[in-house]
A and B are shown apart, each in its own frame.
Chain A
Amino acid sequence: MSTESRSGSGPAQTEEMTVREAIRLALREELERDEDVFLIGEDVGAFGGVFEVTGGLVEDFGEKRVRDTPISEAGFMGAAVGAAATGTRPVVEIMFADFMGVCSEQIINQMAKNRYMFGGKTEMPVTVRTTEGGGMGAASQHSGTLHTWFAHFPGVMAVAPGTPRAAKGLLKSAIRSNDPVFVFENKMIYEQKGEVPLDEDYTIPLGQAKVEREGEDVTVVATQRMVGESLDLAEELDGDISAEVIDLRSLYPLDTDTLVESVKKTGRLVIADESPLSYGTHAEVATRVMENAFYSLDAPVQRVGVADVHIPFSPELENEVLPHGDDVEAAIRRIM
């Protein structure tokens, strides 16, 4: 199995940083590495992005390459598609994933289809970063988790990091890829800290999940915020139940092998992802495992997600619908 790649052979240098800092570092490194890389989005320049991810970049790379746009998602998403098709490497920021609705045409009919329709004659090296998830009282139009749409749609790739390390390595792979890649950042984990390799050539290949914690009794496949919550839960359960926690990282392509290998060992599977449950990311993970390890399963697969509702405003309601570690625990206990 190929591993995370880095240059050189000495001991890897790492530094503790937040998810936000890891993303910013990846952007900075790629802007430095390749003149064709540029950022495009609303208030990504002097304002630094509403979640402060792109802060400081315009100062170092200038307004030409860190481009503030009018509030025209359809227009600048399409411009990014056209720019990518003609040789540059745009990194688009869509402030909230909910706004994908505004620019879906250019994604679904242009970005995703051009290469195929043109008989492989166009490259589409575009990266789209966006934020997902509830938890800050931002209500239904600023809290959605939509990544299943894009993971589902043929012609675009999708990743959703759960750690700072994954955030850096995946984003760099996305930018270097000649295909369209969506990077779904959960807005509640920007402050989450972890060790991140400083190597400028550290990348995580698209299509690889990562076992973040080994265990024997149950496999928890988690994404984004649910990775950290599942890891905390696994620590709490230690001694009682031994949980293996996998950060799915790449939604499409999906690392079937790592999932199957784990379930063959544990015999139980819980999938924790903030998408609505029907036709969700959970369903795809469950199917891949059942297709390949059905006879290793000792219990029904469990899904932890959102019950097909939008994220409501009131903290009481929002807390009710969002999945948390306690929901993962309940799911585990149902099948132990």
Chain B
Amino acid sequence: MVAIDIESEEGQREALRRMLTIRAFDTKAGDLFGDGELPGFVHLYIGEEAVAVGACSALEEEDYITSTHRGHGHCIAKGLEPEQMMSELYGKRDGYCNGKGGSMHIADVDAGMLGANGIVGAGPPLATGAALTSHLRGEDTVALAFFGDGAVAQGQIHEAINIAATWKLPAIFLVENNQFGEGTPVEKQHNVQHLSETAEAYNIPGFTVDGMDVTAVFEAVREARKRALNGEGPTFIEADTYRYRGHFEGDQQPYRTKEDVAIWQDRDAIESFKQKLIDAGTITEAEFDEMESEIHDRIEQAAADAKEAPYPDPSEAYEDMFSATVPEINEFARQMRADGGERQ
């Protein structure tokens, strides 16, 4: 069983729907950020949708993923609700993290989403840990780590892969090679031609797939999952892809041209998958339009509702540090409140 069977017609429509949802969500998030509606910063996943959807479709719902600072796509692909995500982007109480995390920290452990992450390279060790839980408990689950090409330069990633490989843990390491880490191109960060070559060092399978092809990613992850559950250990998958937007919204992108972006947009993953489904008669143009407009309305509504939703109460800032009650926090909080009560 997989979450979404991309080999069935129904599964293909669902995969398309998820990719469209990611694009609509992030397009809206970009607009809102541009309008000064969202605090902090946002990193958009537009252009890379096939990677998250292909990979998460091949997982089961009980499987775990770890994510990155560019996490919205992973969330939606893993089945998180755009409504609660949008609230989190606004810092509202009904967001996934009750407003404490924001765009870079959306998490839903119950849904197998172990968190977007502000620390580049921090996800893979967590995935190794989730795979260790599965191993210790004898569960039939795997853990998949998404991470960027830039993150491959982090020492902790290599330590995590080596541990998982040596212990034959049910983990999958999936690098999203979108050709840049911030403004620095891959070739200025790595000495290998394909990041998947790194796998050789751990004696695990490693290969590069077309990250603009949702089916290719799906198949690669499905195979890796089978291996993992057979006790054969982790697989290293590199998905070649591209981010259409800046590193974060507001990035002037001096490091590339519009033409560079257009080359990849010509191979757009959503456009090509849509065409494939239309050609195969899986969906009609009219059905596609309807799907797109439904998603558009849903995201618009999510944004409108999130804007109106209540903020957390300021006192909630002092909650959630520990499961235990720590007297210091309450005492300091009381002291820090200007008049010993409400802050102005």
Contacts and interface: CB of A to CB of B under 8 A. Distances in A.
A141 B100 CA distance: 11
Nearest to A321: B317
Given A75-B155, A308-B326, A99 B119 contact: yes
B102 A47 contact: no
Interface in B250-293: 254-255
Interface string B293-337: 000000000000000000111111110010000101100110110
A140 B119 contact: no
Interface string B141-161: 000000000110111100000
Given A278-B328, A304-B336, A321-B318, 16 more contacts: A47-B183, A68-B184, A71-B154, A98-B118, A99-B119, A102-B154, A102-B155, A278-B332, A312-B99, A315-B311, A316-B313, A317-B99, A320-B317, A321-B336, A330-B338, A330-B339
Contact of A307 (B91, B150, B254, B318): B318
17 contacts: A42-B184, A46-B183, A70-B153, A99-B119, A102-B155, A139-B40, A139-B105, A141-B117, A142-B118, A278-B328, A307-B328, A309-B321, A313-B99, A313-B101, A314-B311, A317-B316, A326-B344
B214 interface: no
A320 to B, nearest CB: 4
B100 A314 contact: yes
Contacts of A319: 314, 343
Q: By DSSP majority rule, is chain A's interface helix, strand, loop, or mixed?
A: mixed
Contacts of B120: 71
A72 B150 CA distance: 9
Interface string B186-202: 00111000000000000
Contacts of B156: 102
B224 interface: no
B343 A320 contact: yes
Nearest to B100: A312
Q: By DSSP majority rule, is chain B's interface helix, strand, loop, or mixed?
A: loop
A239 interface: no
Contacts of A98: 118-119
Nearest to B255: A46
A309 B329 contact: yes
